[in-house]
Amino acid sequence: MICVMDQVFHISTEKYSYLLRINRHGLPEHLHFGAPIQMEDHLALACKPGLGWGGSIILDEKDPASCPDIMPLEFSGNGRGDYRESSIEIDGKAVDFRFVSSRIFKGIPPMTQGLPQAKDGEETLEIVLEQPGSRLKLYYTAFDTVLTRRAVLENTGDAPLQLHKLMSFCVDIFGDFEMTSFHGNWIAEMRPHKQAVTGGRVVNESSTGFSSFRHQPGFLLSEPCATEEFGQVYGFNLVYSGNHYSSCQQSFQGLTRVMMGINPSNFVKVLEPGDVFETPEAVLTWSDWGFNGVSSNFHRFINHHIVPEYWRFKERPVLFNSWEGCMFNFTHSRLVDLAKRAKKLGCELFVLDDGWFGKRDNDLAGLGDYNVNMKKLPYGLKGLADKINELGMQFGLWFEPEAVNPDSDLYRTHPDWALTDDHPDLCGRHELLLDLTKPEVRDYIVENVSRVLDSANISYVKWDMNRHSIALGAKAHDYILGLYDVLGRIFVPRPHILLESCSSGGNRFDLGMLCYSPQVWCSDDTDPIERLTIQGGLSYLYPQSTFGAHVSAAPHAQTLRATPLTTRGNVSFFGCLGYELDLKHLLGVEEKEVIAQAAFYKAHRMAFQFGDFRRVNSRGGVCWQVTGENVTLAGLFHKLESAAPGYEKLRLVGLDQQKRYHVISRAQKLRIGVFGNLVKHIAPVDVDPNGALLRTVDHHVMLDDSAEELTASGAALHSGVMLHNRFAGTGYDKQQRTQGDFGSNVYVVTEAE
């Protein structure tokens, strides 16, 4: 709800209040963002600057406290006495916008320049500010768990304006905070970094042209005492896939200025008289239930208001992807064989990855040429898709439409379509990007991708992009607008196609892409121990329904780490489960485990994909919890085993303290091979632990791992219930969890009868 009283504006939901007012100088002043409060509280919440501060500019000689430098503002000016970082730069001149009017809209006024935006907001507040020659509109939209903000600048004068910087929002919040941002690289996305926000500016920005795995746009600000479960935390993110910029800095008076928007570095946009420029939408949220509270607010918002309507709360299929198993090396019959195996294991969607078109037998050539390789696929895509459908599976296809290899017919015909930025030979993965700012390039992509999609029964698309840097400046923004145009023209008319966006893994995991693709491929790193960091990091900002999470072969291709198949499955359950390995080489015992995994996942799919996700503090391991309609599932994951491990509890949060719950572990099996030389001591005859006999037994026989079963109250589960102890070198028994390095279990928790 949005209420106005004497130029005080109160945006409130059950979860939060956001309060601002227009002060006596016509500047929008921030009063409160946090716990739900009452409109009448505005005077109590306002800063009381007394007689002002020395060393400041004064707006009104009669008011010694009218120093812009110490006001908590909703958007800054520039060069007029507010010495903190400015959220706007025009023509290198002073900027001094003052209040003119306000309006409240039902719903959300639509974006006009092609940026994606959250849908189904309740109400929007528009604050209009002016200075000679330009008008600035600030928009605030209330959603139940978050608030979105954006800004629109209009040239109302008669000369062109050069816009160098326009943040989506700026706000001055009182308090001491730590900023958690997420940094990384290829196969190592989403490493959290926490730093104190003090007098020096803390910046989180990307300048590669994309949101980038180097610096994820979303970030958090927390009170120093905040934990996963308690304390005040703010969360911020941007509905945008291009260069982003955020900064936090604490003023001497204890106000922390936070801003977020398009990266101003190298950015310039010329606005002719009458032109407008609109920023991407920023998302702001607050919780005093710690980091989990903020994550839950983001998750709810994304599942309800960001992903395309068709896919909201729609179960995602268990998929098989051909990439890690085949790479470029496949034929129709090899794919059909894989599909049969995948179907038997429980997969529902078969995805053909890279290598199906042009001369694409490696990554050196063919991008841009969307003619099917008839040597590999003599029955064409339709022949393959029909066959897969006949097997009872859906069919999906990989594309990389934004890129072109210099060795391609497309590049030879239209070298000027590539975005070379005067450096024609600067390739990344042997590719250049197509210049999506050109309408003819966008038409080429839309026509070709649409033609292929309509040529066969295709239910899923993986939209890849592997060239990590594009032209600088305003062109980078126009490229992103071009990308959104192309995605909208292809997929809005085909809403049933499940789009999974990918950029060498998670190089473009952002809210802009999620407006088109309900899923994003988190990382090319499918090692489950790495995924604890990657999916764990993403979980702060994004719901598990948006994570593509696959089981692949071990030892892992990127880390050479050997992990149990059980753990590979258990980690992938906390996302959209898929398999990506050569199924021909699965042992009989592994097939049985995969069949069990897929069946277990499907039985709890709604909870795994859309349940309320929590990171639970756990002694010695990583614990993730999801709570669906009638069930809570908890994954407890260990990294390196230690000798004689101590007791361990399973803690669950948010359950009804008074109710009783039944807890049972997922039935897991143990390979005989985990016992290595120890088998010698229990076998009736002398066996060679590395010999053929034990290898054969290991490939065919499995032992039961410990089965945990108990009942406990929600209160006991909150404090933690004791689990069977782990293997401690004293023997094998079902009362003991035999995990070794990288072991894990999933626990199913339901209300006791």
87 burial (CB, 10 Å; 0-12 / 13-18 / 19+) is buried
CA distance 422 to 402: 18
- We find the least distance from the C-beta atom of residue 363 to ligand DGJ, in angstroms, to be 6
Question: Smaller CB distance to ligand DGJ: residue 278 or 354?
Answer: 354
- We find the least distance from the C-beta atom of residue 502 to ligand DGJ, in angstroms, to be 5
The one-letter code for the residue type at 560 is L
Give residue for tokens 């939901």.
13
- We find the least distance from the C-beta atom of residue 285 to ligand DGJ, in angstroms, to be 30
CA distance 53 to 63: 12
176 is catalytic: no
613 binds ligand DGJ, rule: CB under 6 A? no
CB atoms within 10 A of CB 225: 11
Q: Segment 312-341, which members bind ligand DGJ (CB under 6 A)?
A: 323
524 is catalytic: yes
Q: Which residue of the set 96, 464, 527, 698 is catalytic?
A: 464
502 binds ligand DGJ, rule: CB under 6 A? yes
> Which of 49-57, 158-166, 499-507, 534-542 is the region at the interface with ligand DGJ (rule: CB under 6 A)?
499-507
- We find the least distance from the C-beta atom of residue 323 to ligand DGJ, in angstroms, to be 5
Q: Binder to ligand DGJ among 130, 354, 698, 708 (CB under 6 A)?
A: 354
Task: Give backbone dihedrals phi and psi of 458, rounded to 5 degrees, phi first.
Answer: -105, 120
Q: Can you tell me whether residue 551 is helix, strand or coil?
A: strand
Overall size of the chain counted in residues = 753
648 binds ligand DGJ, rule: CB under 6 A? no
Question: Smaller CB distance to ligand DGJ: residue 505 or 512?
Answer: 505
Question: Smaller CB distance to ligand DGJ: residue 25 or 334?
Answer: 334
CA distance 62 to 58: 9
Q: Can you tell me whether residue 719 is helix, strand or coil?
A: helix
Question: Smaller CB distance to ligand DGJ: residue 139 or 463?
Answer: 463
Give residue for tokens 């049985």.
592
Question: Smaller CB distance to ligand DGJ: residue 297 or 504?
Answer: 504
Distances (CA, A) of 74 to 234, 246, 633, 671: 16, 15, 42, 60
370 binds ligand DGJ, rule: CB under 6 A? no
Q: Segment 384-443, which members bind ligand DGJ (CB under 6 A)?
A: 398
Closest-approach residue to ligand DGJ (CB): 354
The one-letter code for the residue type at 145 is T
Question: Smaller CB distance to ligand DGJ: residue 116 or 578?
Answer: 578
464 binds ligand DGJ, rule: CB under 6 A? yes
Q: Can you tell me whether residue 304 is helix, strand or coil?
A: helix
Q: Which residue of the set 82, 353, 435, 524 is catalytic?
A: 524
Q: Binder to ligand DGJ among 524, 527, 593, 648 (CB under 6 A)?
A: 524
DSSP secondary structure letter of residue 471: -
Cα dihedral 21→25→26→27 (10° resolution): -60
Question: Smaller CB distance to ligand DGJ: residue 66 or 526?
Answer: 526
479 binds ligand DGJ, rule: CB under 6 A? no
Residues 6+ apart with CB under 8 A from 528: 563, 567, 568, 570, 571, 572, 637, 742, 744
Q: Binder to ligand DGJ among 96, 353, 435, 698 (CB under 6 A)?
A: 353
> How many chain residues are in contact with ligand DGJ, going by CB under 6 A?
11
**Residue ranges of E strands in 643-736:** 649-650, 660-665, 669-671, 702-704, 709-713, 721-722
Strand pairing class (547-551; 576-579):
parallel
530 binds ligand DGJ, rule: CB under 6 A? no
Residues of this chain that interact with ligand DGJ (CB under 6 A) are 323, 353-354, 398, 464, 466, 502, 504-505, 521, 524
Supply the residues annotated as catalytic. 464, 524
